[in-house]
């Protein structure tokens, strides 16, 4: 696939796109990703002096002491003023053009929904802040995320009022946002949707993820061979994609839309984006081809990757998880 037009053609003929996204699609909205040089894990490591910043999402650690997570949680809690990126809107456009079968998102910022992707089309693989559950085994009461938002914003540990009333020491169970921590199971909806989507899909698009967290990191391999697979990311990640579009996802999306001639619908919404990346759809987004399957966009070095080529690291990154529980490949 040596012409960008061929890549666009994959989209033109697709009727059942499966998209898998990670934190990179929200970076242009002002939300840092996790593992980039100035990502959230870098600031968490500095602030809390953690050698492994992923501990902040470790369920054992949370059960021992939830205060560290809640000191940090305001940074990842969805903020009402944040607007979706052009990539989020592109995913919503795929839906409105009846080409989106499913969006699997690892993100907990809710921006895909704000862009207009329906709940039915979305699988929130790592849960969300929409609800929270009391961690007391005797209680397990579920509350709306909005009811704990003020405490989370203030860096405080939210407590279950029902438990507080029943407990002698007035402490009450901790209300944990229903996001999936390391060591917790993914929602059943992930496996349920995959079971049918693997049969129906005709294209896999992967955007803005380092694919370092299992079991989500294993999703692309379920589609290889059945459908064409396209990676859109700033850097190379482990996998065997048919095409690699390396650059900022908003730029790549702009180039794809331009190639497809998709200027008619929602064009104004794209162009008014604060960063202006989608406006590039009407100009030209620079890229060049590196055989056999890589297109390099602006901001990516000529070698095409910011880390060493991860294909060499596949085996050492192999997860030992059970395929369901959230586990990191890096720890």
The correct pick among 18, 35, 69, 102 for binding ligand OAD (CB under 6 A) is: 35
The answer to whether 125 and 144 are in contact (CB under 8 A) is no
Q: Is residue 329 a contact point for ligand OAD (CB under 6 A)?
A: no
The correct pick among 89, 234, 294, 329 for binding ligand OAD (CB under 6 A) is: 234
For residue 176, what are the CA distances in angstroms to 10, 183, 215, 313? 42, 14, 22, 35
The answer to whether 54 and 136 are in contact (CB under 8 A) is no
The correct pick among 10, 14, 17, 27 for binding ligand OAD (CB under 6 A) is: 27
The neighbouring-strand residues paired with 132 are 143, 177
Residue 13 burial class via C-beta count within 10 angstroms: exposed 0-12, middle 13-18, buried 19 and up: exposed
Active site residue 9: no
Q: Is residue 273 a contact point for ligand OAD (CB under 6 A)?
A: no
Q: Tell which positions 309-328 bind ligand OAD, by CB under 6 A.
A: 326
Radius of gyration of the chain (CA): 20
The correct pick among 93, 109, 112, 235 for binding ligand OAD (CB under 6 A) is: 235
The correct pick among 7, 17, 57, 296 for binding ligand OAD (CB under 6 A) is: 57
Q: Is residue 24 a contact point for ligand OAD (CB under 6 A)?
A: yes
User: What is the rounded distance in angstroms from the CA atom of residue 264 to the CA atom of residue 270?
Assistant: 11
Q: Is residue 106 a contact point for ligand OAD (CB under 6 A)?
A: yes
Among 325, 224, 242, which residue's Cα sits nearest to residue 2? Answer: 242
The answer to whether 125 and 197 are in contact (CB under 8 A) is no
The correct pick among 10, 11, 29, 34 for binding ligand OAD (CB under 6 A) is: 34
Among 190, 178, 186, 189, which residue's Cα sits nearest to residue 142? Answer: 178
Candidate segments 9-17, 34-42, 140-148, 221-229, binder of ligand OAD by CB under 6 A: 34-42
Q: Cβ 128 to ligand OAD, closest distance in Å? A: 10
Q: Is residue 113 a contact point for ligand OAD (CB under 6 A)?
A: no
The correct pick among 163, 193, 213, 230 for binding ligand OAD (CB under 6 A) is: 213
Q: What is the per-residue burial (b if ≥16 Cβ within 10 Å, else e) of 136-170?
A: beebeeebebeebbebbeeeebbbbeebeeebeee
Q: Cβ 215 to ligand OAD, closest distance in Å? A: 11
Which of 3, 126, 226, 288 is catalytic? The answer is 126
| Residue numbers annotated as active site | 126
Residues in contact with ligand OAD by the rule CB under 6 A:
22-24, 27-28, 33-36, 39, 54, 57, 106, 108, 126, 179-180, 208-210, 212-213, 233-235, 237, 248-249, 326
């Amino acid at each position: 696939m040596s012409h960008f037009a061929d890549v666009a053609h994959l989209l033109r003929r697709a009727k059942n796109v499966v998209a898998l996204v990670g934190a990179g699609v929200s970076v242009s909205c002002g939300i840092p990703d996790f593992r980039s040089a100035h990502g959230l894990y870098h600031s968490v490591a500095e602030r809390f002096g953690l050698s492994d910043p992923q501990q902040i999402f470790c369920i054992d650690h949370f059960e021992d002491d939830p205060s560290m997570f809640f000191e940090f949680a305001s940074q990842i809690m969805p903020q009402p003023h944040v607007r979706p990126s052009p990539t989020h809107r592109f995913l919503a456009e795929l839906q409105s053009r009846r080409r989106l079968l499913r969006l699997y998102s690892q993100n907990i910022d809710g921006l895909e929904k704000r862009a207009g992707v329906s709940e039915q089309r979305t699988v929130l693989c790592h849960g969300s802040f929409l609800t929270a559950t009391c961690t007391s085994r005797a209680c397990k009461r579920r509350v709306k995320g909005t009811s704990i938002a003020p405490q989370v914003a203030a860096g405080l540990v939210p407590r279950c009022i029902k438990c507080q009333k029943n407990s002698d020491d007035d402490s009450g169970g901790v209300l944990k946002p229903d996001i999936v921590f390391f060591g917790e199971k993914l929602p059943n909806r992930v496996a349920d949707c995959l079971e049918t989507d693997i049969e129906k899909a005709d294209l896999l698009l992967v955007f803005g993820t380092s694919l370092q967290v299992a079991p989500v990191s294993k999703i692309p391999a379920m589609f290889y061979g059945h459908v064409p697979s396209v990676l859109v990311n700033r850097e190379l990640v482990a996998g065997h994609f048919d095409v690699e579009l390396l650059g900022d996802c908003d730029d790549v999306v702009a180039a794809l839309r331009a190639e497809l001639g998709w200027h008619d619908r929602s064009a104004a919404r794209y162009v008014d984006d604060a960063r202006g990346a989608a406006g590039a759809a009407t100009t030209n987004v620079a890229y060049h081809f590196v055989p056999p399957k890589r297109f390099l966009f602006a901001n990516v070095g000529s070698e095409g990757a910011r880390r060493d080529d991860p294909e060499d690291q596949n085996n050492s990154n192999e997860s030992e998880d059970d395929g369901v529980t959230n586990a990191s490949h890096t720890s």
